[in-house]
Amino acid sequence: MSRIISDAHRRLGSPESKVSSQGVDHVMNAGANFASHADWDCWVARAFLMGCAGGVSYALGPFGLRGWQAAGVGFLMGLAVLLTELRLRRATLGGLLGGAFGAVLGVFAALLVTLVISRTDEHEPTKSFLEFAALFAFGYLGLVLGSRRGGELHVDAMDGIFNKESSRAESVKLLDTSVLIDGRIADICDAQFLEGVLGVPQFVLHELQTVADSADPLKRQRGRRGLEVLQRIQKMPQVKVRILEQDFPQAGDVDHKLVELARRTGAKIITNDFNLNKVATVQGLSVLNVNQLAHVLKPVVLPGEPMQVLILREGKEANQGVAYLDDGTMVVVDGARRMINKSVDVIVTSVHQTTAGKMIFGRLEERMEQAGPTLRQAAAAGRGESGGGARPDAAGRVASSARIPEQDTMDRQARAALPERDAG
């Protein structure tokens, strides 16, 4: 039966095929039919017990009885055993332990009483009657009082003492619909930060199926995403996923059912729902909130620390650029308005906590600020060289005008030297 239900849930988790409500009802009807067959088998075993008791009594003839009278005594004894079994089936484990312990104490007390009675001078029939009466009386009192008081025994605590490892391994954490749709729980499981068994109640699967079958495209996409996340978690070898069949129709919606299931089983609830978190916490239940975990794991940034960010857009103030960290934290950088779509080195100046989250303010590193004017000058020089041939011509004219006076001076010096040689 468990394999049939697990196969049905596996088909429910596939995004291509969706299990209809008729299919789920078919699985549940199959489980009910299996349970009814198990009850019939039990009744066949009980009838066999009654027949054996009557046959053995018919053959042995107890109390000097013969024939059908002896068989009737055996049938009555088998009927008494059957009624006792039906009564004990409804008893709790604490009641059974308490009743067994009380019956043993009652028989031990009856034994002490019979030792005292055997020392008296009463006749043998009287002694036998008192001994049997003490045995039945003390045994009955021990059984009844022990079963009544056995409900006060903390069986879970005893199980934790004798089998600590098994109780630790069976710690169940209930997954809410919101945390499956969110999807980050799969990454947490993949990083092996969760231990124990992840329980997915049947009513949570039904709600995911309802959302996936919605006419609204957005809701349908969210429901399919939740089923895909659950299927991804089931494929992880280090994670145990268990489908829980417990349901509480009187609890109402899914949140109240989760709270009731966690209260009865002692399991923890994994959710993203703020209201469910508060309700479960007020009732003393343990809640693991993925949003709180993500908030706690945000990186701590102190003023003066360097960081590298990608400027995505302009800021509200003049000459500001805005970037975002991987966790969504906004970083406002002074002097980065011209650096959009570029990775820059930033020095953190201050960190502010707002109602919407954390904001980081910073400024460009000094080498980035110094590189800015150099880049602008290089760009201006490039634009000047590509502006046409007028400026080179002017520079040539200036250079030629500077060379002309020098040439005239050399000519005058040469003419002054030539007459002197002629005169000589």
Residue type, 28: M
165-296 to CATH, choices 1.20.120.420, 2.40.110.10, 3.40.50.1010, 3.40.50.300? 3.40.50.1010
**pLDDT band, residue 398 (cuts 50/70/90):** very low
DSSP notation for 117-128: HHTS---HHHHH
From start to end of 184-324, where are the E strands?
Answer: 197-201, 240-244, 268-271, 287-289, 306-310, 313-314, 320-324
Which residue, chain included where needed, has tokens 């008494």?
80
The answer to whether residue 90 scores a pLDDT higher than 90 is no
Unique residue bearing structure tokens 């500001």 = 320
Identity (one letter) of the amino acid at 377?
Q
- Report the 10 Å Cβ neighbour count for 103: 20
Mean pLDDT computed over every residue of the chain:
75
pLDDT above 70: percentage of residues in the chain: 71
Q: Assess whether pLDDT exceeds 80 at residue 156.
A: no
Tens digits of residue pLDDT in 328-352 = 788 999 988 888 999 999 999 998 8
Residue/partner pairs of 410-418 with CB below 8 Å, 24 or more apart: none
Provide the sign of the torsion angle of the four alpha carbons 218, 224, 229, 232, taken in this order.
Answer: negative
Distance CA 364, CA 347 (A): 6
pLDDT of residue 374: 52
DSSP assignment of 324-368, as one string?
E-TT--EEEEET-GGGTTSEEEEEEEEEEEETTEEEEEEEE-HHH
Extract the tokens encoding 192.
Answer: 């092996």
The Cα–Cα gap between 70 and 63 comes to 8
Q: According to DSSP H, which parts of 90-201 are helical?
A: 93-118, 124-149, 155-162, 164-169, 177-182, 184-190
Which CATH class, in words, describes the domain spanning 306-370?
mainly beta
Query: Global pTM?
Result: 0.45
> Dihedrals φ, ψ of 92, to 5°?
-80, 170
Taking alpha carbons only, the member of 164, 117, 165, 163 closest to residue 137 is 117
Which tens digit of pLDDT belongs to each residue from 230-255? 999 999 988 999 999 888 888 788 88
pLDDT, one tens digit per residue, over 192-228 is 888 889 999 999 999 999 999 999 999 999 999 999 9
Output the pLDDT for position 333: 93
pLDDT digit string, tens, across residues 64-78: 777 788 788 777 887
Q: Which residue has the higher pLDDT, 13 or 356?
A: 356
Residue type at 376 in one-letter notation = R
Q: How confident is the model at residue 391 (pLDDT cuts 50, 70, 90)?
A: very low
Report phi then psi at 93, rounded to 5: -65, -40
For β-strands 330-334 and 287-289, DSSP reports them as unpaired
Q: Domain ranges in the chain?
A: 2-156, 165-296, 306-370
- The reported pLDDT for the residue numbered 199 is 92
Q: How far apart are CA 182 and CA 188, in angstroms?
A: 12
